[in-house]
Amino acid sequence: MNVYIANFGRENYEWPRCLAGNYVATMQDERLHAYWAAGDRDGYIERTLIHLKTAKGVTPVKSTASRWYNLGTIIMESSGDLWIHRHEDRIWWTVTEDEEGLIDLEPDPKPAPWGSREVYFYRKPCRPWSSIDQLGRPLRWSAVHCKAHDFLATEATLQKLGVDYAEYARSLVKGDDLSEWHRRSDWIAKTERGRRSMPVIFGDARAKTFLQMVMRAEDTARRANGQIVERRVKNKEFRLGTRMEAERYLEELFEAQEGLCALSGLQLQWIGGDDPQLCCSLDRIDSDGHYEKGNLQIVCNFINRWKSDGDNAEFSRLIAAVRETV
C-alpha cells in the first residue's frame, strides 16, 4: 500500500466533489491529454513548457513538467493505496478501489489565463472519505505531532511518502500507538524547539535562503576561476547579474519547481527549518557549466552533496532506481 498526500486542483477546487463522489482526482490541460494518452513523455514536456505555468504563474522546469506527466498515471493506476488530504483542521483519508478510473473532458471551474477552457479530469473511485480513525476518533490537524505536519501536507499536487512516514500515516489512520515515532530524538527535538524558541518568520527565512544560495554561488565562482593549484580547477562563472537579479531568478526557479527538490521530489525547506538536509541548495545541472539561467536547479542539501560533480542524467537514473525499490 502506497501512501499519498494530495491536493485536488487549483485552490483545491475539486475537493468538495472528491468528498461527495468518493474519488481521488487530478486535472490535465486539454492540449496535453493526447500526449499522456500516447505515452509521449518528451512531447508532453515540450508542450507543457510552451503552454502551461505553475499555480504561481511561473513557467515550469523540465523536472516539474515530467512530474506532471506522471500524475494521471498515478491516479488511474492507484489501487489499494492510502490517500490523505488536509482540509482546515481535519485530516481526511481514503483507500482507492480496484475499479477502472474515469477520464472526462469538462469545463475548468477556475480557468487560468494560460490554460485551456476545458480540462480532462482523471478520477479514480475510492472508499468513502473519512476524518476519523478506524477506532472512531476524530483526526484533527491540531492534535497530531508537530513533526507530522512536515509530511502530512504538501503544496504540490500530490506527494508519495517514504517508507517510514508512510508507516506513520497508516498507523495514524488505524488508531495505533504512535509512541514509537514520538519517542525518537528528532521528533522530541522538534517539540522542544517549538516550546523554547520564537517561530521562524516565513518571509525572513525565505529571503535568507535565496540570499545564501546566491552568495555561495558567487563564492564558488570566485574560487574556481581556472587557477592552477595541484590540479586545474574548471572555470565557473557567475552569470546571474546583480545579487538582486540573482535572488529574483532563484525565487522564480523555486516556484517553477513547485517548492520541490528537482532531483528527489522532496519538499524543500528554508534556513531554520526542521531538517537542514532538506534545505535549499543551488546545483548546476551540468557540473562543468556556469552559474547561469538554464543550468541551475534547486535541490536538497544532501542531494547536492551526493551528486557532487556527477552527471545529472545518471544521478537522476540512480535516484529513480532507488525509488523503485521502496
Contact 31, 51 (CB under 8 A): yes
Q: From residue 271, how far is each of 37, 247, 274 by CA, in Å?
A: 41, 15, 9
Reading the chain (326 residues) residue by residue, the pLDDT tens digits are: 899 999 998 889 999 999 999 999 999 999 999 999 999 999 999 999 999 998 788 899 999 999 999 999 999 999 999 999 999 999 999 999 999 999 999 999 888 888 899 999 999 999 999 999 999 999 999 999 999 998 999 888 899 999 999 999 999 999 999 999 999 998 998 887 665 444 445 568 888 899 899 998 988 888 876 554 444 445 689 999 999 999 999 999 999 998 899 998 888 999 888 788 999 999 999 988 999 999 999 999 999 999 988 898 899 888 888 766 65
202-324 architecture in CATH? 2-Layer Sandwich (3.30)
Closest by CA to 279, choosing from 225, 226, 200, 220, is 200
Beta strand 158-160 with 3-6 is antiparallel
Q: C-alpha grid cell for residue 160?
A: 508519495
* Cα dist from 258 to 35, 186, 299, whole Å: 22, 26, 12
Give the three cell numbers for residue 287: 557540473
Residue 284 φ/ψ, nearest 5 degrees: -85, 125
The residue extents of the domains of the chain are 3-185, 202-324
Q: What is the pTM of this model?
A: 0.82
